[in-house]
Amino acid sequence: MAGFLLANLFLAGVFVVLSAMMGDNASKVVEVPAELTAQAINHAPVLSRMFAGLGVTPTPDLLGILHLLGLLLLFWLVWGLVFYHVTRNDESEAFIQRAARWLLRGSILELLVAVPSHIIVRQRGDCCAPFATFWGIVTGLSVMLLSFGPGVLFLFAARMRRRQSRTART
């Protein structure tokens, strides 16, 4: 779950930075591959029949959404492998505390990038870029709240265990 949330933060962060740099053209990162995929599907009869059999018309908009989901899945896989490599020898409590810490730090970093980017794109008067930066801010705040809640619970539980061990010794 931590890998999925970090993948969302990373994807939102990529689009926040692209929106600040490219404005409304930031969506070209997804639109251009979607259009190329639509052309490839139209030129490949097997793929055209497959989509027709599903009852779906492979429009660039649909393919753009699929490409965006593909990016999310790719980032999820990468973050999942990072978490596996870093925490494979950790106890379950240590893993949860580390995951909550990474999520909190990632969401803070996301907000440190998203808020100034949002101010930049709002000043320029872009059409769609403010939505991308808003998405980054909402993602950062959501993950922060999700990681902060359990993080506080685990800190409280660790403190209670330390207090109980001190009272048991006396």
Crossing angle for the helix pair 60-87 and 2-22, nearest 10 degrees?
Answer: 130
Helix (H, G, I), strand (E, B) or coil at 1: coil
Domain boundaries, the chain: 2-169
pLDDT of residue 150: 62
Helix (H, G, I), strand (E, B) or coil at 44: coil
31-69: per-residue pLDDT in tens?
888 888 888 888 888 888 888 888 888 888 888 888 889
Q: What is the 3-state secondary structure (H, E, C) of 78-125?
A: HHHHHHHHHHCCCCHHHHHHHHHHHHHHHHHHHHHHHHHHHHHHHHHC
pTM of the model: 0.69
Structure tokens at 81: 């492998």
pLDDT of residue 143: 84
Structure tokens at 5: 């949330």
